[in-house]
């Protein structure tokens, strides 16, 4: 029961219902307790009764009020629609945690990777949070309390110096499309995503710097270039108007160059490996993690921290401060005989 009498004669109201903030309050009389319970729960019941919109209708509202403004909004909407359909496209407010966990089990059993499912989970949960913030819906997030699938962290792959030389040699010797070499060079020199470089316009090259616009984070960032390479780049783009693209599409040529170079890359990282390689070598060569965040355009430092372990002095205190190091320093007879 929600309302119950305690030993001291007071009346306890304990509400723990889906969609409501949990509450425990005590009142002097049963009448006061029942009145509080009614006033607290009634608005929620009315909201549920009047909101019969389906999951797909909620997705459409999210896209209209928020998703349309995202750089990947159309792609994300397709994902949300697919999840809504797989969940049976029922009334959104009636979506239960159990139903979503059952859906998760089925998708993982069917072979979907935990990381991909976590992405879908995050999209769906953030959709509800955004609509709550915009007051489009007045019930709580149905996915609150559902944990993401735990994934073993893996070290990000990157190319060694020798592999980079082999790749650039493969591009030089086998690519007819000259854009391929310059796009790869810019990715390795600035940590940019392949698409950011491939779509570069001539006006984005100014004063020895390249400025990336329409980025994933929707923030522009300008990065200086080596003077010799910058001169080569301007020569390659000679005759272009400010709004002309500097390069032609060349991702296919790059992928073939990777194959010719004999490089085995993780699935989905063919072009992104250049960005990882820039960031990894930046840290291994003593770069600052905050500078790297600005160069890569990460809004959240936690994304950049994935590369922190590659710094030359990362966690070196483990050598100096471990208990055996202290014992050894104080004991001249610590070595076995």
Q: What is the pLDDT of residue 175?
A: 93
Q: What's the CATH code, domain 161-310?
A: 1.10.443.10
pLDDT band for position 189 (50/70/90)?
A: very high
Report the C-alpha gap between 90 and 328 in whole angstroms: 66
Length of the chain in terms of residues written: 337
Report the C-alpha gap between 111 and 100 in whole angstroms: 17
pLDDT band for position 164 (50/70/90)?
A: very high
Alpha carbon 48 to its chain centroid, in Å, reads 32
pLDDT tens across 25-43, in order? 888 888 888 888 777 776 6
pLDDT average, residue stretch 310-315: 80
Report, as residue numbers or ranges, the catalytic residues: 193, 216, 272, 275, 298, 307
Q: What is the pLDDT of residue 153?
A: 61
- Is the model's pLDDT at 268 over the cut of 90? no
What contacts 110, CB < 8 A, 6 or more positions away?
none
Report the C-alpha gap between 14 and 219 in whole angstroms: 47
Whether residue 51 contacts residue 137, with contact meaning beta carbons closer than 8 Å, is answered with: yes
Closest to 195 (Cα-Cα) out of 141, 278, 293, 272: 272
pLDDT tens across 88-125, in order? 999 999 999 999 999 999 999 999 989 899 999 999 99
With a pLDDT cut of 70, the percent of the chain lying above it is: 90
Report the C-alpha gap between 257 and 254 in whole angstroms: 5
What contacts 93, CB < 8 A, 6 or more positions away?
19, 47, 48, 51, 53, 137, 139, 142
CA angle 107, 110, 113 (to 5 degrees): 65
3 state SS of 17? coil
pLDDT tens across 296-312, in order? 998 888 888 888 888 88
Tokens 């966990």 correspond to 101
Q: What is the pLDDT of residue 155?
A: 60
The CA–CA distances, whole Å, from 76 to 82, 89, 136, 222 equal 10, 17, 19, 28
pLDDT tens across 115-148, in order? 899 999 999 999 999 999 998 998 899 999 899 9
pLDDT average, residue stretch 162-178: 94
Mean of the per-residue pLDDT values for the chain?
87
């Amino acid at each position: 029961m929600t309302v119950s009498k305690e030993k001291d004669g007071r009346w306890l109201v304990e509400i723990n219902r889906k969609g409501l903030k949990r509450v425990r309050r005590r009142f002097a009389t049963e009448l006061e307790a029942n009145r509080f319970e009614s006033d607290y729960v009634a608005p929620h019941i009315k909201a549920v009764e009047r909101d019969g919109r389906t999951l797909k209708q909620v997705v459409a509202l999210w896209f209209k009020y928020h998703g349309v403004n995202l750089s990947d909004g159309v792609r994300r909407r397709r994902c949300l629609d697919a999840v809504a359909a797989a969940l049976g496209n029922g009334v959104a407010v009636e979506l239960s945690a159990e139903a979503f966990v059952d859906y998760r089990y089925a998708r993982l059993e069917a072979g979907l990777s935990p990381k991909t499912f976590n992405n879908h989970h995050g999209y769906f949960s953030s959709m509800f949070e955004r609509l709550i913030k915009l007051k489009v819906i007045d019930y709580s997030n149905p996915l609150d309390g559902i944990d993401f699938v735990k994934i073993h962290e893996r070290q990000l792959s990157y190319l060694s110096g020798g592999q980079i030389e082999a790749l650039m040699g493969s591009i030089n010797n086998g690519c007819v499309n000259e854009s391929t070499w310059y796009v790869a060079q810019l990715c390795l020199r600035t940590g940019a995503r392949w698409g950011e470089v491939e779509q570069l316009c001539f006006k984005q090259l100014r004063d020895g710097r390249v400025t990336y616009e329409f980025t994933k984070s929707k923030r522009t960032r300008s990065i200086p270039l080596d003077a010799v390479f910058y001169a080569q780049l301007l020569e390659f783009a000679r005759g272009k108007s400010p709004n002309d693209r500097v390069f032609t599409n060349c991702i296919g040529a790059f992928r073939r160059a990777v194959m010719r170079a004999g490089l085995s890359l993780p699935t989905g990282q063919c072009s992104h490996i250049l960005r990882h390689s820039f960031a990894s070598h930046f840290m291994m060569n003593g770069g600052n993690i905050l500078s790297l965040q600005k160069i890569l355009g990460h809004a959240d430092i936690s994304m950049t921290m994935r590369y922190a372990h590659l710094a030359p002095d990362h966690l070196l205190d483990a050598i100096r401060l471990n208990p055996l190091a202290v014992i050894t320093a104080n004991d001249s007879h610590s070595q076995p005989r």
